[in-house]
Structure 1
Amino acid sequence: MSGYPWAAFAVNLGCAAGAALVVMLVAFAVGVARSLHRVVDIAWGLAFAAVAAVSYGVSAGHGDDGRRLLVLLATLVWGLRLATHIGYRGRGRGEDPRYKRMLDKAPHGHRASYALRVVYLRQGALVWLISLPVQAACYIRGPIDTAARAGAAVWAAGLVFEAVGDRQLVRFTSDPANHGRIMDRGLWSWTRHPNYFGDFLVWWGLFLMACGAWQSVVVSLVSPLLMSFLLTLGSGKRLLEQHMADRPGFTAYKARTSGFFPLPPRRGA
């Protein structure tokens, strides 16, 4: 265990938690001022970017510079792209139905404090936990290895899948002729959730970048496992499909299209 700088990493854990908290508190202030708590979805990507930037700075002199830079850039690109996309997609819209249902449960007169606790602080805690590979990789003293290169390839594939899927959906929904229709073209004909599948690859890729020391593997494994659960069984695929279940054409789309992992459309479904 002497090969891994545990004391410095412990400091990083605290700094990362502080970075995530600051981003979420700023988002909370904006959400209260605008009575629009969907801004937390923009803060989600920004918080990961903040954690990566803080971890890169705090880890100077403790980990390999090449690996630190690789993880920093990968997280920044993913987080800032996601925040930009969500901000663009949500402009001019009202509250997200998910948050409206959640905040309708708030005790009378305590909606803001309930939102802070249930929406913002909870997501901030998830950012801190899921970002463990980003933090841990910054303290690996060995240079970029085969696992890190493989992780970069998996990350890149995930980013492309996520970005292309998001772009295809934006173009589809922006056409008035497609109003009320199910998006079943491009990547969306191979999987019902190309953006979630891309996220899945991104975080397994970041985990591989943190596999240069067994200590960081042990610390980081919870991250891709938790993200995989959230994307498939938690707040991602499961909730979205519950929301779409009654839309015309969704049953047929579901019958012919893979639920998560990309596969050729099933003929005759």
Structure 2
Amino acid sequence: MGNGPRNLKNAVIALLAPLPSIIFYISFLNHFHRVSTSGNVGDQSVSLSTLWTWCYQHPLLLANVLFFLNVNVLFWIISHIQSSHWMIDLYWTVIPVMLVNYYATHPLARYNGWRSKIAILLTWVWSLRLSHNYFRREKWQWGAREDWRFTNMRLQYGKHWWWVSFFAVYVSQQVFLIGICLPFYVIHSVDEPLNIWDFVAIIVCTSGIVVAFFADTQLHDFVSRNEKLKELGKPLVANLDKGLWHYSRHPNYCGEQLWWWGLVIFAWNLGHAWTFIGSFINTMCLAYVTKLVEDRMLKQDYRAEAYRLYQKTTSVWIPWFKSSLDGGKDKKA
């Protein structure tokens, strides 16, 4: 199948894939609102059927059930039909938007309107930035390839990959995504006035989005230039060491972490510091991914030597001044 038809097919699949959860949730809301307007507002949970009552009383569990059935099971089945796990990468940029709007519209939600609007707006901006970067990186194609880490795991597990992938690709994503989005649940569970810590959270989240945007744009420009050099048969530039990448080996990861930890500040401010666990797990996972990425760089002969030098002189995540090989700071940085 040509790129055009395949691109269209994958776009349709991606747009239709979340519909089971969306239709189910809209049906629940419609049923709930019918009960609310029938005059039985005083005891809505009793008036609902057993299924709808459970959905009403357990918003966080419902989010997990919908994720398990619609993402873990359905996406997994689709991935085996297509022999590619590309769709979970795309939905990393979409699921947080779906979750924040889900928590905001659930009948049990109670919250400060301004804090909710700010969280939803910031999440949409974050998602648009990440979605733009995803499609720009994939040359504006849907499902052109799966994450290289999944491809490596496919080779590693061989005939067992069909079932291992369910846990390695999908169940693990539920832990990460539901976990890092826990602040959205808290924001829409506690009604407290805005205070100074909300503005600190806004600054941290916004800084994360901005840093990640410029870092990803600089990386995209670097990769595009190298692709042109390769087409012309010229030597490739071994390493990106300009802009934010002059001060950090992974400024895009730094920006992404600022975003998620900024959300934790919202939840901590509302008395639910325990939600840090989601961002902490995500940070630990990203530390492992950082190692995988750097090991991959060192396996490329044309850049290995330059990258080893880069590792010795440049901060891993947090942008900082260059270090000289003897341990001092590079005054030219």
Which residue of the other structure, out of 287, 298, 316, is the alignment partner of 1:245? 298
Q: Over residues 150-194 of structure 1, what are the superposed CA-to-partner deviations in whole Å (9 max), with x where a residue is unaligned?
A: 000001111000011001111111112374621111101110001
Does residue 167 of structure 2 align to residue 101 of structure 1?
no
1:12 corresponds to which residue?
59
1:181 corresponds to which residue?
238
Does residue 88 of structure 2 align to residue 40 of structure 1?
yes
1:3 corresponds to which residue?
none
Q: Over residues 77-121 of structure 1, what are the superposed CA-to-partner deviations in whole Å (9 max), with x where a residue is unaligned?
A: 22342233223313465443311221234462x544432232122
Number of equivalent positions? 258
User: Which has the higher Rg, Structure 1 or Structure 2?
Assistant: 2
- State the alpha-carbon separation in 1 of the partners of residues 77 and 192 from structure 2: 41
1:90 corresponds to which residue?
138
Does residue 171 of structure 2 align to residue 114 of structure 1?
no
Q: What is the SS of the residue equivalent to 1:259?
A: coil
1:50 corresponds to which residue?
98
Shift of 1:42: 1.4
| Structure 1 residues 19 and 205, CA gap change in structure 2 (3 angstroms) | farther
Which residue of the other structure, out of 33, 57, 63, is the alignment partner of 2:111? 63
* Aligned-partner residue type, residue 14 of structure 1: L
Shift of 1:49: 1.7
Does residue 134 of structure 2 align to residue 77 of structure 1?
no
* Aligned-partner residue type, residue 222 of structure 1: I
Q: What is the SS of the residue equivalent to 1:211?
A: helix
Q: What is the SS of the residue equivalent to 2:58?
A: helix
- State the alpha-carbon separation in 2 of the partners of residues 250 and 17 from structure 1: 41
Shift of 1:256: 1.8
| Structure 1 residues 266 and 229, CA gap change in structure 2 (3 angstroms) | same
- State the alpha-carbon separation in 1 of the partners of residues 196 and 203 from structure 2: 11
Shift of 1:261: 0.8
Shift of 1:208: 1.0
| Structure 1 residues 153 and 11, CA gap change in structure 2 (3 angstroms) | same
Q: What is the SS of the residue equivalent to 1:118?
A: helix
- State the alpha-carbon separation in 1 of the partners of residues 108 and 214 from structure 2: 35
Shift of 1:268: 5.7
Unaligned stretches of 5+ residues in structure 2: 1-53, 230-234, 327-333
**TM-score normalised to the size of structure 1?**
0.85
Higher relative contact order (CA 8 A, sep 6+): 1
* Aligned-partner residue type, residue 60 of structure 2: L
- State the alpha-carbon separation in 1 of the partners of residues 249 and 193 from structure 2: 38
| Structure 1 residues 107 and 259, CA gap change in structure 2 (3 angstroms) | closer
RMSD of aligned residue pairs (Cα, Å): 2.6
Q: Over residues 36-95 of structure 1, what are the superposed CA-to-partner deviations in whole Å (9 max), with x where a residue is unaligned?
A: 213321122212221111111116651111112222222232234223322331346544
Unaligned stretches of 5+ residues in structure 1: 1-6
- State the alpha-carbon separation in 2 of the partners of residues 161 and 242 from structure 1: 24
Q: Which moved more, 1:22-31 or 1:48-57?
A: 22-31
Identity %: 23
| Structure 1 residues 100 and 121, CA gap change in structure 2 (3 angstroms) | same
In 2, are the aligned partners of 1:38 and 1:99 still within 8 Å (CA)?
Answer: no
2:46 corresponds to which residue?
none
Q: Which moved more, 1:190-199 or 1:9-18?
A: 9-18
1:217 corresponds to which residue?
273
- State the alpha-carbon separation in 1 of the partners of residues 136 and 77 from structure 2: 20
- State the alpha-carbon separation in 2 of the partners of residues 105 and 135 from structure 1: 37
| Structure 1 residues 86 and 49, CA gap change in structure 2 (3 angstroms) | same
Shift of 1:244: 1.2
